[in-house]
Amino acid sequence: MRKNFVFGEGNPEAAIVVIGEAPGAEEDMQGRPFVGRSGKLLDKILEAIGFSRKDVFICNIIKCRPPENRNPHPDEIESCMPWLGMQLEIIKPKILLLLGRVAANTILDNRQSMGSLRGRIIRWNNYDVIVTYHPAALLRNPNWKRHCWEDVKMLRHHFDKTC
Ligand code: URA
């Protein structure tokens, strides 16, 4: 049973919204997104391109921790998506950074692989979307960090050009 609803946090007027999959155990305990091991890595990734957590808004597709950290079920995604839709309507970001395939496939409504989604800017519903690996995947496969670095450098460059 989840302990906390993890709404998201950061700058409510951010130009960039970072979207992950679902809260893990630490996020559930604290009621805050990306505060566990993946979150520490996300902080470093953001710092490497000159941002702090306070510059962006960080949230997830799913607002409550799925039991045993399993992948979210379609009905859970369906109940949570209106929240994300409202968050984006209020914040009105220019750029979405989607972390991992669950976030990317859900938002872009496709089943494409990370290989075909990352490394480019995808125009979706008036947002410029950049997809990269989820930090938890990078902790398991450090070889992918190189690709993530390319993706976030592109994010920084695009931000500097457009925001
Ligand atoms: N993984 C996610 O996708 N989101 C979090 O908030 C933490 C870990």
Report pLDDT digits (tens) over 134-151. Answer: 999 999 999 999 999 999
Which whole number is the average pLDDT over 47-65? Answer: 98
Q: How far is the CA of 26 from the centre of ligand 1 (A)?
A: 9
State yes or no: pLDDT of 152 exceeds 90: yes
Topology of the domain covering 9-162: Uracil-DNA Glycosylase, subunit E (3.40.470)
Mutate to test the pocket of ligand 1, among 38, 62, 106 (most ligand atoms within 8 A of CB): 38
Percentage above 70 pLDDT, the chain: 100
Q: How far is the CA of 20 from the centre of ligand 1 (A)?
A: 5
Reported as a pLDDT band with limits 50, 70 and 90, residue 68 is: confident
The domain spans of the chain are: 9-162
Q: Across the chain, what does the average pLDDT equal?
A: 97
Rg (CA), the chain: 14
State yes or no: pLDDT of 69 exceeds 90: no
Reported as a pLDDT band with limits 50, 70 and 90, residue 121 is: very high
Q: How far is the CA of 25 from the centre of ligand 1 (A)?
A: 9
Closest CA to 91 of 10, 32, 5: 10
Looking at ligand 1, which atom is closest to the CA of residue 134? 3
What does the pLDDT look like over 91-114, one tens digit per residue? 999 999 999 999 999 999 999 999
d(CA 131, CA 1): 30
Q: How far is the CA of 22 from the centre of ligand 1 (A)?
A: 5
Closest CA to 8 of 26, 31, 28: 31
List all residues whose CB is within 6 A of at least one atom of ligand 1. Answer: 20-24, 27, 33-34, 36, 38-39, 60, 136
